[in-house]
Structures are given as C-alpha cells and as structure tokens.
A and B are shown apart, each in its own frame.
Chain A
Amino acid sequence: MPRGDRMSAATETERAAGEEGLAAYRFILTVLAYAVPFVFILLPLILFLIQSFYYVEDGNIVHQLTLRNYERFFAGRGFVPVFFNTILLCLGVAAITVLFGYPIAYLLASLRGRRKYVMMVVFVVPLMMSYIIKIYAIRAILGGNGFLNRILLYLGVVDEPLTFLIFNLKAVLVTLSIILLPFAVLPIFIALERIPRSVVDASADLGASAFQSFRDIVWPLSVQGTIVGATFVFVLALGDFITPQMVGGMSGFTFGRIIYSQFGFAFNWPFGAALSVILLVVVLVAIVGTGLITRARHQL
C-alpha cells in the first residue's frame, strides 16, 4: 500500500473519532437545551400546579388533592371583581403605552444614521435602570409633598397639595405605563425598522399621499409589532405587585397583591398557587392569542 493511502486511512480514523466526539458533544448540548428549561421553568410550574390542589388546615399544608382553592376564588367575595379590574387596568396600561409608544417608535425609526442609535440608547437606558428606583422617582413626583404638587402650589393653581395623584388605581395605571413604555416602543420600533424604505417610496411613487402611505403600507406592516408590544406590556403589568403596593395605596388593590399576600402574610401557599395558576391562564391566553393574530397575517 502506498504511503499516502495509509496516511489518509489514519486521518480517516481520526476524523471518524472526531465526528463521534462531535456527535456526543451535540447530544449533550441537545439534552442541556431541553433540560435547563424543563428543570428551571416547567418543573416548578408543574409543582406549582400540583400545590394549587392542596389545602391548608391549622397552618399546615395538607397534601391531598382538592378543588377547594378554585371554588374559593369563584365563590368568595372580592376575588373575581379584583381579578377583572386588574385585567382592565392592564389592558389600559397596554393601550396607553402603545398610544404613546407608537409615535415614539415612529420618530426613532425615521431618524437617520447615528442620531437614531443615540436616541435608542436614551430610550433603552431607563429599561436597564432599577425598577424600584423608577417607582420611587414617580412617588417623588406624584406624592403629597412631591414635585408636581410643589409646582402647582408655587404657581398658585391649587391651595393645598392634591391627594388624588397617588395611592389609587389611577396612579398604578400611570406608573405602570411609564415603567413599561420601553417594552412597547421596542417591538414597534423593530417592526418599523423592518419595512424597507423602497416599499414606502413605492407607494408615494404610485401616487399615495403621506396619509395613504401610512394607512395602507406602514400601519399594516407594523401592526404585528404593535400587538406584540401591547402583549408584552399587558403580561408584565399583570404579574406586577410591587408597583400597586408602592403607589396604589389602599384603593389600588390588584390581583398581584392578593397573590403576594397569600404567600407573604396569609401563608396560604396552595391558595396563592391557585390564584397564580388562574393568572397564568390569562397570560397564556394573551400570548397564544397574540401568536394566532400575528401568524394569521401575512409574513414579510
């Protein structure tokens, strides 16, 4: 056998060994890719789901499956109205953020070159900032002795500090809208960015006015991103319990706070779990619904 052939046979074996190693490596990666979300996301959710069918007696969890937590939610006074009010509140937050977020995203997308990305950073920085700091900042603005009241007093618009600015559901609505605004802006911005400039040029070229171009081309091509942004905000607002707690006061009671109190004060974990499962169902419906709406429309 010529030497060259032996050499290639040797490298062949090496390559085979290498491929085997690669296959093993790939296998491990695949297992990890599935295992991590399973162990850290799905498993806790399943445990939670099971927990929601237990109940508490004399401060101890009874490991026996029952529907009494769910019955309590539907039959008990107070839970269902708070639940629906919370959903309405979060829909309101989603509507406000989209209403303000769309023009902002449009402005960002229409900027050219470096200015666009500088402005983007200006919008993304608050996203990175601690959530708690933002809430305190808003409290400092809206509070009885806050910035807004001081200005109003100074200008003589009011004689006494306004008290309806904070510690109610409206304050929760405003605060959540401010905090979650970037989550609406980003998906809308991305959707607008994806519209090729030539497509908008083409509609003008065909005789469309600026308004017609927007109505027929830009809006239909960015509505998906807008829906995604709204869903983002809705889901995040729904799960929030810190904001209502800090700016909601006694009247700003939300479903998130009820859940929190079951874990934090009442120590009724199974009931808290049941309420969480109910909330989760709403979130899933919102996400799946969004998926269906956006998929039904034609993809770019």
Chain B
Amino acid sequence: MTEQPKTLVELSGVAKVYGGVEVLHAIDLALRDGEFMTVLGPSGSGKTTVLRLIGGLVQPTRGKVLLDGRDISAMPINRRPFNTVFQDYALFPHMTVEANVGYGLKVRGESRARIRDRVIETLRLVALEEFAGRYPSQLSGGQQQRVALARAIICEPRLILLDEPLGALDAELRRQMQRFLKNLQREIRTTFLFVTHDQEEAVTMADRICVMNHGRIEQIGSPEEVYYRPVNEYVARFFGDNNLIDVALGEAGEEDRELVSDVGSFRCRLEGRSAVGAATRDSPGKLLVRPEAVVIGEAANGMRNRMKVRVEETGFVGPVSQVTVSAAAKPELRIMVKLPSRAGGIPLAVGDETEIGWSDRECHVVTA
C-alpha cells in the first residue's frame, strides 16, 4: 500500500465575493506536499482567485485557508511561506536581475555575502548567471520569466504559485518553459500550483489537474483521469474535440453494457465512476468517445461498435489528420476522427460513404 501524501495547503469551504458577485462558491481543495497541480479553467472561472487566496493577496469571504492544518486565513501576505510568479512577471524595473532575485532574502535581513551566494546559485538553476547585472528591460520575455521564477524559488517557499506565467510567450518558448518548469519542480521538490487556461499545458505538466468553471471545481484528478474519465459534459468538452453521443442505458451484459442511441446501439465496458453514474437504467447520459480512439474504413470491421458514416471534411494538422464524418442515420450528428498522418495522405475524400468503429474499452459515459 502506498503512503497517503501529506496535505500541505487546504481550502475548506472557501467562498469569495467581489462587489456583491460570488466569484467562488464554497470550494474545497487540498494540495499535496510536493505535487505539481494545475488549476485549469476559462477566464472568469475563479482560478486566479484561488491562487490569490492561497497567496494572501485576497481574503476569503467565507471558509478557511489551512497550512499544515492550521488556519492561515488572517495571515498577511508577507508572512506566508509561499511565493508567486506573476502573470506579467512583476519584476522590479529599477533593480538589476541580481537585486531582483535577492530581494526576498534582503527583506529578511540576510547578510550580503549570503544573498550573493544564493543569488548566483539560483541564477545558475535558471541558466541566467551571465545576466546578473542586467536590468529587466534588457531581457527577453523568456529570460524575464526565469528571473521571476528565480526570485520566487530563492526564498525556499513551501509552495510556489504560478499565475499563467507562460501566457505571453510564443509556442516554442512555451514548450521549452513547460519542460523546464517540470524539471525544476522535480529538482527542488517544491509544491507548485500552476494556473492556466490552456488544457494542453495542464495535461503535460500536472500531477493533478483541478478543472474549474463558474467559481466551482468540476473535477480534480490526474491528467489521464480528467482526459479519459471526465465526470461531466463540461470537463469532457474542455479537453478538446470529444465526441459526445446522447444515449440511454440498455441491458447490462456480463462485462459490458448496452447503450441505446438514435444512431444504433453500442456495447461498452464502463468502469469506475462512469459505471456508477450510469447505474440507473434509462438515465439520460452522453457517450464519450475520444477522436483518436475512433478508426475509419476497413479498420472498423473488427470493432465491437460500428456506425455508417459519410465523410464531411478532411484536414491535415501535422502529426494527425482530422476527419469529420456525419452519421448516415442522423446527418446532424458529427463525429471527429483523428488518424496518424501518413505521407501518402488519407485514402478518404469528402462525400465518401464508409464506416467508423471503436473498441468497447474506449467508451465513457457522462451525465448530461
């Protein structure tokens, strides 16, 4: 049996009201010591408020913020053992990189010699030791980002809060920084809370993802969990291009269950929450099939679930090719299929009548 990881920070029934509007509705969230958690949600979902509440920039209207089980709701920001990497980096423009990074130690009254040593050490960690004497305005966006990071980690906080820190970077630099952050987190073994609206970023970086919407937490789970076993339609749609088919529950088999829809009936092995949620017969739900789990053409022959379709659209997007098809029995039902791209292209043309199929293991049902 694995040991239950210790809870570092906990939000307990935390609600936040801004000018009469409740932006956070009594949420509960426990951060485990040493984990990389991303808080994922669209703008206005309350994800930044969660970060600010933990950091101490705002106080909860109701509920408590706990650190090691102690209530820290009233603890001022400058006493909390957390550091933040701000969205706009918030570097001190009048200080050199060295002074910026050393500031957290300076206000604590550390000796100059020690600050210098620690700054050099930390700058090496973010590969910026050459830039100690520069001013923030003389650095590129990615470099400023790493200064902000160094400034936060030098204080050896219990938790590092990152507020969409990669938002302003271009795609390539963003990927580099994602890898860098992930490695850094492993190296310094500090808990990271990373706020983002980019689901791909959340999936690639996190140990656990907390999906938020309209001031509520929709789901907390590992990237695989939220990706393959979303708890509801919102989460399912948030992780891009999911195929959702309205279904009603049919007969339960030995290992699988029948799902009845107006484009035919399917047999699926439902597991975990999905099986529990679907326990009531005839409860309306949606069958979720990921586009990459769907096969098309001859490959569909061997599959348990099949459907006659017409090809509506084909598109090449690098490593995968996207094919949109409509169900022959119900043309308004669109299914997205993702296939590995091949140099020869995909042997399908718009208007082709063909068949799609998917395994009974690639199904998941969410309540509508």
Contact residues in A for B155 (Cβ distance below 8 Å): 206-207
Contact residues in A for B281 (Cβ distance below 8 Å): none
Contacts A205-B78, A208-B78; A221 near B83 (Cβ below 8 A)? no
CA distance A208 to B104 in the complex (A): 7
Contact residues in A for B88 (Cβ distance below 8 Å): 196, 198
Within 8 A of B (CB), among A194-235: 196, 198-199, 201-209, 212, 216-217, 220-221
CA distance A191 to B188 in the complex (A): 39
Stretch among A58-66, A133-141, A147-155, A292-300 lining the B interface: A292-300
- What distance in Å separates the Cβ of B296 from its nearest Cβ neighbour in chain A? 46
CA distance A209 to B90 in the complex (A): 17
- Which one of B93, B94, B151 lies within 8 Å of A206 (CB-CB)? B151
- Are B83 and A196 interface neighbours, CB within 8 A? no
**CB-based nearest A residue for B154:** A206
CA distance A205 to B81 in the complex (A): 9
**CB-based nearest B residue for A299:** B137
Q: Does B238 contact A (CB under 8 A)?
A: no
Q: Does B72 contact A (CB under 8 A)?
A: no
**CB-based nearest B residue for A195:** B93
CA distance A297 to B92 in the complex (A): 13
Q: What 1/0 flags go to B55-79 for Cβ under 8 Å of A? A: 1110000000000000000001111
- Are A297 and B90 interface neighbours, CB within 8 A? no
Q: Does B86 contact A (CB under 8 A)?
A: yes
**CB-based nearest A residue for B163:** A198
- Are A206 and B103 interface neighbours, CB within 8 A? yes
- Which one of A198, A201, A209, A298 lies within 8 Å of B107 (CB-CB)? A209
- Are B135 and A203 interface neighbours, CB within 8 A? no
- Are A205 and B107 interface neighbours, CB within 8 A? no
CA distance A218 to B92 in the complex (A): 10
CA distance A196 to B136 in the complex (A): 14
- Are B137 and A199 interface neighbours, CB within 8 A? no
CA distance A117 to B62 in the complex (A): 32
Q: What 1/0 flags go to B80-113 for Cβ under 8 Å of A? A: 0011101110111110000000011001100000
**CB-based nearest B residue for A300:** B93
- What distance in Å separates the Cβ of A110 from its nearest Cβ neighbour in chain B? 16
Contact residues in B for A209 (Cβ distance below 8 Å): 78, 107
- What distance in Å separates the Cβ of A173 from its nearest Cβ neighbour in chain B? 33
Contact residues in A for B87 (Cβ distance below 8 Å): 198
- Are B86 and A201 interface neighbours, CB within 8 A? yes
Interface of A is mostly: helix
Q: What 1/0 flags go to A179-200 for Cβ under 8 Å of B? A: 0000000000000000010110
Number of A-B residue pairs having CB atoms within 8 Å of each other in the complex: 71
- Which one of A196, A206, A298, A299 lies within 8 Å of B104 (CB-CB)? A206
Q: What 1/0 flags go to A273-297 for Cβ under 8 Å of B? A: 0000000000000000000000001
- What distance in Å separates the Cβ of A210 from its nearest Cβ neighbour in chain B? 8
Contact residues in A for B94 (Cβ distance below 8 Å): 220-221, 297-298
- Are A205 and B137 interface neighbours, CB within 8 A? no
Q: Could you tell me how many residues of chain B have their Cβ less than 8 Å away from some Cβ of chain A?
A: 27
Contact residues in A for B57 (Cβ distance below 8 Å): 201, 205
- Which one of B55, B92, B108 lies within 8 Å of A203 (CB-CB)? B92
Q: Could you tell me how many residues of chain A have their Cβ less than 8 Å away from some Cβ of chain B?
A: 21
- Are A217 and B77 interface neighbours, CB within 8 A? no
Within 8 A of A (CB), among B144-174: 151-152, 155
- What distance in Å separates the Cβ of B28 from its nearest Cβ neighbour in chain A? 25
CA distance A212 to B151 in the complex (A): 17
- What distance in Å separates the Cβ of B119 from its nearest Cβ neighbour in chain A? 13
- Are B104 and A199 interface neighbours, CB within 8 A? no
Within 8 A of A (CB), among B43-59: 55-57
- Are B104 and A207 interface neighbours, CB within 8 A? yes
- What distance in Å separates the Cβ of B102 from its nearest Cβ neighbour in chain A? 10
- Are A207 and B86 interface neighbours, CB within 8 A? no
- Are A217 and B92 interface neighbours, CB within 8 A? yes
CA distance A274 to B77 in the complex (A): 60
**CB-based nearest B residue for A113:** B19
- Are A206 and B83 interface neighbours, CB within 8 A? yes
- Are A198 and B86 interface neighbours, CB within 8 A? yes
**CB-based nearest A residue for B104:** A206
> In this complex, which of A198, A203, A205, A216 has the most chain B Cβ atoms within 10 angstroms of its Cβ?
A205
- Are A298 and B92 interface neighbours, CB within 8 A? no
CA distance A209 to B155 in the complex (A): 15
CA distance A221 to B136 in the complex (A): 14
Contact residues in B for A198 (Cβ distance below 8 Å): 86-88, 90
Contact residues in A for B135 (Cβ distance below 8 Å): 298
- What distance in Å separates the Cβ of A108 from its nearest Cβ neighbour in chain B? 21
> In this complex, which of A207, A209, A220 has the most chain B Cβ atoms within 10 angstroms of its Cβ?
A207
Contact residues in B for A221 (Cβ distance below 8 Å): 93-94
- What distance in Å separates the Cβ of A26 from its nearest Cβ neighbour in chain B? 32
- Are A207 and B55 interface neighbours, CB within 8 A? no
- What distance in Å separates the Cβ of A247 from its nearest Cβ neighbour in chain B? 41
- Which one of A203, A204, A206, A298 lies within 8 Å of B137 (CB-CB)? A298
Contacts A216-B103, A298-B135; A205 near B92 (Cβ below 8 A)? no
- Are A206 and B107 interface neighbours, CB within 8 A? yes
Contact residues in B for A206 (Cβ distance below 8 Å): 78, 83, 103-104, 107, 151-152, 155
- Which one of A199, A204, A299 lies within 8 Å of B92 (CB-CB)? A199
- Are B107 and A208 interface neighbours, CB within 8 A? yes
CA distance A196 to B87 in the complex (A): 12
Additional 13 contacts, C-beta under 8 A, given A216-B107, A298-B93, A298-B137: A198-B87, A199-B91, A203-B107, A205-B77, A205-B82, A205-B84, A206-B78, A207-B107, A208-B103, A209-B107, A221-B94, A299-B93, A300-B93
12 contacts between A and B (CB under 8 A): A196-B88, A199-B91, A201-B57, A201-B84, A201-B90, A204-B77, A205-B56, A206-B83, A207-B107, A216-B103, A221-B94, A300-B137
Q: Which B residues have a C-beta under 8 Å from some C-beta of A? A: 55-57, 76-79, 82-84, 86-88, 90-94, 103-104, 107-108, 135, 137, 151-152, 155
Q: Which A residues have a C-beta under 8 Å from some C-beta of B? A: 196, 198-199, 201-209, 212, 216-217, 220-221, 297-300
